[in-house]
Structure formats: C-alpha cells, structure tokens
A and B are shown apart, each in its own frame.
Chain A
C-alpha cells in the first residue's frame, strides 16, 4: 500500500537538500521530540504511562463491540498479552470497569468509570491539542500533512 505518496507534500530530491536545510530539519525533529517528552513529563508513581493513556483513550472512544482486549491489541499493534496487562492495570486503578460481553461469553467489555472520564480531561495529548488548536486552520492542515508524510515514511 502506498501511503507515502502524499499529494500535499512535494518531496525534494536528496541531491538538492542543503546542509542548512538539514540543520533546520534536525532542529524541527528535536522540537517534535521535546513536545512529546514534555507531554508525558509527569513522573509521579501514580502517573499513567503513555500506553495506558492510549488504552484509556481507546476505551473512551471505541464502539462497544471492540472495547475488548483483542480490540485494544489491534489498536496498539501489540499481542493480546500486553494489551490484557494494560487493560488490567486500568481496572486495578479504578479507571475502567469490566463486564462480560453480551455477544460473546469468552470476551469482556471495558468501559471507563467516572474516575476514568475525569482523568481523561487531563489527557497530556489534550494539552498539546489545545495549543495546536490556536494555530490557524491552514497551518494546522499543513502541519498534519507534513507529519503524516514523515510518519508514513518512517513505517516504510
């Protein structure tokens, strides 16, 4: 699948990339890294890890049929064992409730508790999103296209 061919980004041939451009690009890459690190800077013992935040977001927005360990595993791109551990850690913290699926007795459905919903209001990605939302719509769309392009190439 060609997910790299983005029509919004015009790639520059390698031979035309100057040293100055490379230095600027390295700076941008570091800034992206700093933003990501800063988002998850809470190092208190009770703070969630980034994967736990991902799981909490998933259980908050996923349609009921897939709010399962298998659904979470597919969402995170991991096997069911680590997905199960992550879901269990959220249950243990009282952020997520678990009940048997009405469709499949072998499967459990996870739903956020009030505490989970409240914690999600402090989602570290949410803070970054609010800052990005202050950009003009056009700049935000260009940034989205550029990051999507880089992400696709990294996955290749």
Chain B
C-alpha cells in the first residue's frame, strides 16, 4: 500500500483516480492547487509519491518540484506526472519539463488503471 498525494484540479478525473487507488489498497490525499499541495506536504511528510497534473487552473503543477529561491528542494517526493496537454505548450515540451524535474513516469490522458498502478509501483519501488 502506498500513501499518495494527488494534485489534480479536475474533480471528475480526481474522483476516478481516487476510485482506482482506493480499490487497490492505496491511500490518497487529494488537493486541487499548489497552496493545498504545499500545506499537505508540510503537514504529512509520509507521502510515498505524488501524482501531479501539470495544468492546474492557472498554476504550473511542476513548479512544486523545482527549487526555492534559496536553492532548497520544495519536495523530493517521487513524481508521477499526468497531462492531457494544455495552453501554449505541446505535450512533448511538457514531457521534457517533467523529465527535467525528475519525474518517474509521465502518463498521457486518458490512461488505463494498469498504467496508473504500474507507475505507482515504479515510483515506490
């Protein structure tokens, strides 16, 4: 079982992901923006991995995995990126950014339950 932080602003997508996670004995904490994500990480440092949507209603999900101004890490959680594309950038560019942030897996929407569970297994191994 893994303790996962899900950062996703689309309620329908979040609901379907949580359904899959909970039916496979994982524990999920869902937040929909970066402020909530930062709060959750500071409150609970026992997450095993984060599942992050890149486009978060005007916020950049990957910025949580870049550095603070003082060079310190915001978080070093294993990162699973999910994206269906967004304004201004191609999925190829999003993938490059995710790789540069150290993402374990990049899943393109729509993805199967098996794809998600495989990515989680890889992230927590």
Contact = CB atoms under 8 A, between A and B. Distances in A.
A71 B108 contact: yes
Given A1-B58, A2-B58, A144-B100, 5 more contacts: A64-B112, A65-B112, A75-B108, A144-B101, A151-B93
Nearest to B84: A74
6 contacts: A1-B58, A2-B58, A61-B106, A63-B107, A74-B90, A155-B88
Given A64-B112, A66-B110, A8 B69 contact: yes
A145 interface: yes
Contacts of B108: 62-63, 66, 71, 74-75
Interface of A: 1-3, 6-8, 10, 54, 58, 61-66, 71, 74-77, 141, 144-145, 147-148, 151, 155-156
Chain B, interface size category, equals 20 to 34
Contacts, number: 75
A3 B88 contact: yes
A8 B111 contact: no
Contacts of A141: 67
B67 to A, nearest CB: 4
Interface string B25-56: 00000000000000000000000000000010
A156 B88 CA distance: 8
B66 A63 contact: no
Contacts of A65: 110-112, 115
A149 B101 CA distance: 13
Nearest to B110: A65
A119 to B, nearest CB: 19
Contact of B97 (A58, A62, A148, A156): A148
A155 B101 CA distance: 19
B100 A77 contact: no
Counting chain A CB atoms within 10 Å of each CB, which of B67, B87, B115 scores highest? Answer: B67
A148 to B, nearest CB: 6
Contact of B115 (A10, A63, A71, A145): A63
Contact of A77 (B84, B92, B97, B111): B92
B63 interface: yes
Contacts of B68: 7-8
A141 B101 CA distance: 8
B92 A54 contact: yes
Contacts of B111: 63, 65-66
B88 to A, nearest CB: 5
Contacts of B90: 74-77
